[in-house]
């Protein structure tokens, strides 16, 4: 999440991320077998996460009024047909700001729009039944559903005397769901320690070292993690603000309930990102890639794409992106940035507004198809200068590709060494009508139009 904004208001990774049947058969206390069986049965035909492209299915301040789950419900079939394999939803439970909240100020983790508290019954996005209907539709269309989990801070508690601070704090949480009551001992400071790795915005900061907190978050049969998975139907997790707590929390959560896991570790330092993913045993959004693309496409210097990124260190742990609900700084030639992430390694995520409103949907669908069908194997950079970037994917179970990004104002041509000898190739974007034959030594002349790109593979 964007903290300034808040203060103002590949199949190759499947084995690391996807949950097994063993992960989803434990029955939580006080829940019926029917409640558990329904979401499990609907997971049978899901696409493997990482085999396609993730859709961030929201943006900051989506329309209020309880309509958003229905909006997403109406689009998941088309997204699946386009090559999306998972959708990432905003925090789905009731937050302090009730009908106006984007969910990042969580109050009752078990209220998905069914209890009249915090100023509304429904959440900003809709009711519990609308959420479950939407998740069911996603599953019917082969899509996994990723929950945005905010477990660093809470909001909306009542004031109480706090023996650890000597004053009053807003740490008395009495949710109407009757689940996960919290008090001062569950937050920092407490009897365990004064703080962990990061508080946020002055809100009560959960202490993950307390066994009671661990039990409610992920350990118990009726924990948040298991309720989200087994009853609501979520398949994976996007952990918000993971700088606020240690990586072992994500690791233990994932080990307990399974599912694809990705952390928002907002940092451009590749070594730091790589350390976090290794320690948490989860993916991270590739902010290093994001900021290098910003330098390349906003700074008009494609040599920035030579620099290090998480996907270059460990592609199986990198979720690449061009825009999200917090960051929209790559404005010039944004489609070129999508051409980059959708032809390179990592698990690319696309942003709702980019896809549905701001960019050409036909171009986006073409790039998604290219990613899913041609972009296999390791990456080799063939040429880079201020205006031109050419790289090839070396292929596995497919022929690979060559992507040519041109950030200049004129057509560009260049001889490059491909993977193919004496082979007719074509541009799968349609931006060039050339169909050259590679030489016996794999060399061929390619071209790319101004402020655009071409993607070449075997015809």
From the list 114, 240, 252, 345, the catalytic residue is 240
**Sheet architecture: strand order including 379-384:** 379-384, 388-393, 401-406, 452-458, 425-427
86 forms beta bridges with: 54, 144
User: Which residues, other chains included, contact 223 with Cβ-Cβ below 8 Å and sequence gap of 6+?
Assistant: 28, 215, 216, 217, 256
C-alpha torsion sign, points 125, 127, 128, 129: negative
Q: Kindly provide the residue ranges of all beta strands, DSSP E only, lying in 126-245, ordered along the sequence.
A: 144-149, 158-162, 167-172, 236-239
| The residue to which tokens 């730091």 are assigned | 272
Q: What is the CA radius of gyration of the chain?
A: 23
Give the H/E segment covering residue 266: none
385 annotated among ligand-binding-site residues? yes
Strands (E), 187-333: 236-239, 260-263, 283-285, 318-321
Which residues, in sequence order, are CB contacts of 153 under 8 Å at separation 6+? 105, 106, 199, 200, 201, 203, 204, 205, 206, 241, 244
Q: Is residue 89 within 8 Å of 57, Cβ to Cβ?
A: yes
> Which is catalytic among the residues 122, 264, 286, 387?
264
186 annotated among ligand-binding-site residues: no
160 catalytic residue (yes or no): no
Determine the Cα angle at 418 with ends 415 and 420, to 5°. 125
- Alpha-carbon span 156 to 15, nearest angstrom: 39
Kindly report the CA angle at 356 between 351 and 360, in degrees rounded to 5? 100
Whether 240 is catalytic = yes
Angle, alpha carbons 41-43-45 (nearest 5°): 110
> What is the Cα–Cα distance from 429 to 373, expressed in whole angstroms?
13
Residue 30 burial class via C-beta count within 10 angstroms: exposed 0-12, middle 13-18, buried 19 and up: exposed
Catalytic sites, residue numbers:
240, 264
Annotated binding residues, as ranges?
152, 385
Annotated binding residues for Ca(2+), as ranges?
152, 385
């Amino acid at each position: 999440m964007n903290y300034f904004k808040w203060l103002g208001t590949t199949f190759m990774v499947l084995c690391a991320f996807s949950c097994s049947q063993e992960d989803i058969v434990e029955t939580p206390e006080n829940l019926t077998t029917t409640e558990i069986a329904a979401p499990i049965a609907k997971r049978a035909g899901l696409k493997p996460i990482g085999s396609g492209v993730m859709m961030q299915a929201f943006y900051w301040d989506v329309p209020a009024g309880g309509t958003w789950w229905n909006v997403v419900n109406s689009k998941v079939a088309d997204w699946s047909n386009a090559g999306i394999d998972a959708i990432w939803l905003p925090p789905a439970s009731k937050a302090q700001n009730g009908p106006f909240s984007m969910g990042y100020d969580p109050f009752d983790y078990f209220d998905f729009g069914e209890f009249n508290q915090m100023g509304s019954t429904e959440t900003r996005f809709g009711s519990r039944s609308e959420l479950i209907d939407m998740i069911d539709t996603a599953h019917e269309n082969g899509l996994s559903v990723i929950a945005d989990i905010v477990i660093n801070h809470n909001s909306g508690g009542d004031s109480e005397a706090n023996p650890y601070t000597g004053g009053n704090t807003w740490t008395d949480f009495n949710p109407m769901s009757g689940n996960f009551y919290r008090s001062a001992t569950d937050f920092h400071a407490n009897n365990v320690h004064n703080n962990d790795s990061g508080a946020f915005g002055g809100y009560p900061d959960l202490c993950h070292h307390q066994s009671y907190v661990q039990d409610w978050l992920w350990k118990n049969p009726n924990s948040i993690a298991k309720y989200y998975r087994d009853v609501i139907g979520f398949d994976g997790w996007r952990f918000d603000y993971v700088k606020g707590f240690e990586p072992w929390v994500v690791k233990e959560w994932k080990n307990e309930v399974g599912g694809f896991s990705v952390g928002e570790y907002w940092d451009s330092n590749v070594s730091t990102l790589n350390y976090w993913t290794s320690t948490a045993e989860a993916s991270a959004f590739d902010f290093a890639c994001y900021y290098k693309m910003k330098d390349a496409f906003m700074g008009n210097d494609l040599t920035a794409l030579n620099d290090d990124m998480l996907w270059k260190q460990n592609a199986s742990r990198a979720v690449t992106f061009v825009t999200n609900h917090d960051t929209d700084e790559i404005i010039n030639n944004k489609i070129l940035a999508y051409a980059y992430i959708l032809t390179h390694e990592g698990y690319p995520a696309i942003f709702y507004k980019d896809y549905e409103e701001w960019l050409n949907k036909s171009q986006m669908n073409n790039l998604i198809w290219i990613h899913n069908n041609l972009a296999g194997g390791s990456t080799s950079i063939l040429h880079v200068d201020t205006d031109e970037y050419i790289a090839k994917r070396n292929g596995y179970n497919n022929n690979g590709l060559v992507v040519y990004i041109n950030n200049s104002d004129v057509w560009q041509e260049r001889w490059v060494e491909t993977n193919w000898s004496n082979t007719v190739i074509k541009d799968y974007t349609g931006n060039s009508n050339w169909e050259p034959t590679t030489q016996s030594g794999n060399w061929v002349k390619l071209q790319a139009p101004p402020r655009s790109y071409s993607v070449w593979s075997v015809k």
